[in-house]
Amino acid sequence: IPVDPFDLVVIGGTGDLARRKILPALYRRFCAGQMPEGAQVIGAARTEMDDAGYRDFVGAALDEYAQPAGCAERARFLDMLGYVTLDALGDQGWSDLAARLDEGRVRAFYFSVGPALFGPLAERLQRHGMAGADTRIVVEKPFGRDLASARALNTDLARYFTEGQIYRIDHYLGKETVQNLMAIRFGNMLFEPLWNSQYVDHIQITVAETIGVDGRGEYYERAGAMRDMVQNHLMQLLCLIAMEPPAKFDPDAVRDEKLKVIRALDPVKPDDVVRGQYLADGGRPGFREHVGNAESTTESFIALKARISNWRWAGTPFYLRTGKRLRARTSEIAVVFKDTPHSIFGPEAGQHRNILTIRLQPNEGIDLGVTIKEPGPGGMRLVDVPLDMTFAQALGPEAEDVPDAYERLIMDVIRGNQTLFMRGDEVEAAWAWTDPIIAGWTEGAGAPLPYDTGSAGPDEALALMHRDGRAWREIR
Ligand code: NAD
């Protein structure tokens, strides 16, 4: 869908996120023909630089991070770029920035800086006349570190912008498969009637990474896996799996339903949480070395059992886990259906279950495990086989070219579509659920359990499911 010419200002335009994600995403949209003639992208940060310097800087970032390599008209993309030296906490650069923007078109300010600067930036945008009705602001995670700080951020932003102008990014929502999850649920008759505790035994959400926290130790030591991953990304996935069908696919209808899920979550019992820290491995430092604190009690792994107390889900647990330096880089949601009420094939046929797996990475796709007869003359032996819907396979090469999450989300900001962004009350509700869990361990539940690099986390995480007669899916 074409968009009108716009001004996009990336505040923090020389930072890591801008280089790795935001600017390459804009470039790919340009190559896809989606950046209209006359659109302007302005980097703004403390570093002293001019337009030409910034174009070189972005060119180098594209060389490093824009995959596939892009298109022939790269110079024309770089021509759309400008730069303003700006101090978020002072006066420098603000009138220059205002002078660069065009009247009467959509303007978006992407706050690619830490949350301490969100309030000061919003205030200065207004003071310098850049906070009109056509202005949108995009804010990155972390949106606070607890309920109180998230509330304070929301209050600060609300002084200058309406909720309809604030785009809180959770890039998981921009992933193709995550949106496909909604298509699967609400575009098919097949799944929705079974989508409840009567038919679903449990749901597992796993986000496993192989990397450690190298280079981000300082931030991570203060955050931990619960704040960095569960409160936002895993919570958003849980909401999309568990929510009631919205009446329309529109921002508030979808976000209202997600909010109801978060509010229906039970408090998590301390026994239902396992935290871990990765150990040093063959010369590679462990978590405590990475964060520079030999007594760190921050978790690089967490597994927990969540319960949703509502009509649909009472009795169906949601098991969530995420961690660093695990066996494989894999993210998936598995909806594990119940056993058939009675096996007509006798006990030797074994236990078989349907599992719907939504894979976020690698190989984005969805597969449904179904039970069939093992081919051959050996009698009625059953096997589980996947009905696989890898998008690239089913839809041809075009499906391999799906836009990356940031591409989609940035274009949604320009189009003014908030469906895939978190509303303020959602973020607060998520913290309200997370805070007591964190308080549980800061009040003396002890240090996280050590685990080996390349494992599936501490053994106690496996026990969390075993004691319920269930098992995690393998991380591979
Ligand atoms: P960074 O430290 O690499 O970059 C920060 C940018 O902000 C730089 O351009 C810097 O010049 C600018 N800046 C800092 N103080 C300023 C001031 N007073 N006035 C003007 N500009 C100022 O940080 P980053 O990794 O790019 O992260 C930016 C934000 O995005 C953070 O909130 C971070 O938590 C979040 N985030 C980052 C990643 C990532 O992969 N890097 C992922 C998700 C979220």
Q: Tens digits of per-residue pLDDT, 388-400?
A: 766 666 777 666 6
| For the chain, domain boundaries | 6-140, 173-405+420-466
Q: What are phi and psi of 185, to 5 degrees?
A: -65, -45
Distance (Å) from CA 140 to ligand 1 centroid: 9
Place of tokens 């969390």: 464
Distance (Å) from CA 114 to ligand 1 centroid: 6
* Residues recorded for the chain: 476
pLDDT at 404: 86
- ipTM of predicted complex: 0.98
Separation of alpha carbons 137 and 44, rounded Å: 14
Homologous superfamily assigned to 6-140: NAD(P)-binding Rossmann-like Domain (3.40.50.720)
Distance (Å) from CA 117 to ligand 1 centroid: 10
For residue 21, the ligand 1 atom closest to its alpha carbon is 40
Residue ranges in the chain whose pLDDT is less than 50:
none
Fill in the DSSP letter of residue 230. Answer: I
pLDDT at 362: 85
pTM metric for this prediction? 0.95
pLDDT tens-place string over residues 457-471? 999 999 999 999 999
Q: Count CB atoms within 10 A of the CB of residue 277.
A: 26
% residues pLDDT > 90 (the chain): 82
Q: Which residues are annotated as a binding site?
A: 12-19, 46, 141, 171, 175, 209, 228, 324
Count Cβ atoms within 10 A of the Cβ of residue 37 and give its class: 0-12 exposed, 13-18 middle, 19 or more buried: exposed
For residue 11, the ligand 1 atom closest to its alpha carbon is 21
**Nearby residues of 345 by Cβ (< 8 Å), 6 or more positions away:** 380, 382
pLDDT at 343: 86
To which H or E segment does residue 334 belong? Answer: strand 330-337
Residue 166's nearest CA partner among 203, 205, 131 is 131
Q: Whose CA is nearest to atom 12 of ligand 1?
A: 12
| 215: its two tokens | 């280079």
Distance (Å) from CA 13 to ligand 1 centroid: 8
233 carries an active-site annotation: yes
Homologous superfamily assigned to 173-405+420-466: Dihydrodipicolinate Reductase; domain 2 (3.30.360.10)
Alpha helix (H) ranges present in 301-423? 391-395, 405-415
pLDDT at 400: 62
Please list every protein residue whose CB sits less than 6 Å from any atom of ligand 1: 12-18, 45-47, 86-89, 112-114, 117, 140-142
What's the first-to-final CA gap in the chain, in angstroms? 37
Separation of alpha carbons 248 and 267, rounded Å: 30
